[in-house]
Amino acid sequence: MTDRSRLTTLAAIALGALAATTSVQAQPRHHDDVPRRPPPPPPPRHRPPPGYAVGRRMPREYLGHNYRVDNWKHYHLPPPRRGHYWVQYGADYVLVGPNGIVVQIWGR
């Protein structure tokens, strides 16, 4: 083998090796190779207001007519005593006394 043919063979091998590494680097990444972030936590379905417990004062914003339940029979709630009324918050019904104190909580 002559020097020229050896040089041509070595050049062909080097060029083939270079082409092989270049083609590996140039291959597109598969979607499985992409690192995945964990999904965000689901939003809370129902956050009770602060003080939402029997014996504590119901927050003022929940005592307005927007949350008041006047048709308590429709929801199968017991009748409120005089001066008391039902307030709906999420899936719960809260019996509130005339002074704004939570008397009873009914959940669905």
Domains of the chain: 60-107 (3.10.450.160)
Q: How far is CA 50 from CA 9, 22, 59, in A?
A: 81, 62, 7
In the beta sheet, which residues pair with residue 86? Answer: 69, 95
CB 77 within 8 A of CB 61: no
Q: Is the pTM of this model over 0.85?
A: no
Alpha-carbon Rg for the chain in angstroms: 37
pLDDT of residue 26: 54
Return the pLDDT at 20: 60
Tens of each residue's pLDDT in the chain, 108 residues: 677 777 677 677 877 776 665 544 555 666 666 667 777 666 655 555 555 788 888 888 888 888 899 998 988 899 999 999 999 877 889 999 999 999 998 875
Confidence (pLDDT) at 95: 92
